[in-house]
């Protein structure tokens, strides 16, 4: 029995030795992984997936301030087919809409891109997470009027 358990542990453990990391952009909500409900919450969605074919289901999900009110935009389910290879990390992302109108248009026809890089070449958490500073800027942006937003854009350029 001990040999059987050791063999099972070795088999399960060895499959994860060849796992790769897959980061999901913050504007995507992970719905399921290989037809099992996602068990991840929060803004940082980084998965460890073994080598092979996988099916992720995501939804575009974002909030915007429009005419003094907050509007949520959500897309239909978007199926992401990904082939994981040993020694690589992956990012599932898309161009994020900047305003409510573009977000609604994108939600009607969502798309995604998969980027691959060697394991450890970049820090996935830094690429897909939003800092507290960015969150504060977004909040302040929603409170600015159009003139103030225009001045801010000029200052950035």
Residues 6+ apart with CB under 8 A from 1: none
Work out the end-to-end distance of the chain between its first and last CA atoms, rounded to an integer number of angstroms. Answer: 68
d(CA 55, CA 144): 41
Averaged pLDDT score across all residues of the chain: 76
The per-residue pLDDT for range 30-57, each reduced to its tens digit, is: 999 999 888 775 556 888 899 999 999 9
Confidence of residue 157 (pLDDT cuts 50, 70, 90): low
Least confident segment among 1-10, 32-41, 116-125, 135-144 = 1-10
CA distances from 156 to 58, 149, 150, 151, 152 (A): 32, 11, 10, 9, 6
Of 67, 64, 58, the residue nearest 31 (C-alpha): 58
Given a cut of 70, is residue 11 above it in pLDDT?
Answer: no
DSSP run (H or E) holding 41: none
Handedness of CA 42, 68, 93, 151 (dihedral sign): negative
């Amino acid at each position: 029995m001990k040999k059987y358990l050791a063999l099972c542990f070795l088999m399960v453990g060895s499959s994860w030795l060849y796992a790769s990391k897959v980061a999901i952009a913050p504007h995507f909500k992970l719905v399921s992984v290989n037809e099992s409900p996602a068990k991840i919450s929060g803004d940082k969605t980084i998965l460890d997936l073994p080598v092979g074919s996988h099916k992720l289901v995501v939804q575009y999900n974002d909030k915007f301030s429009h005419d003094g009110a907050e509007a949520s935009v959500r897309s239909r389910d978007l199926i992401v087919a990904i082939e994981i290879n040993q020694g690589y990390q992956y990012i599932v992302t898309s161009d994020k809409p900047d305003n409510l109108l573009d977000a609604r248009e994108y939600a009607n026809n969502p798309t995604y891109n998969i980027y691959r890089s060697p394991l450890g070449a970049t820090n996935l958490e830094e690429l897909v997470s939003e800092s507290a500073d960015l969150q504060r800027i977004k909040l302040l942006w929603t409170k600015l009027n159009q003139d103030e937003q225009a001045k801010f854009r000029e200052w950035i350029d």
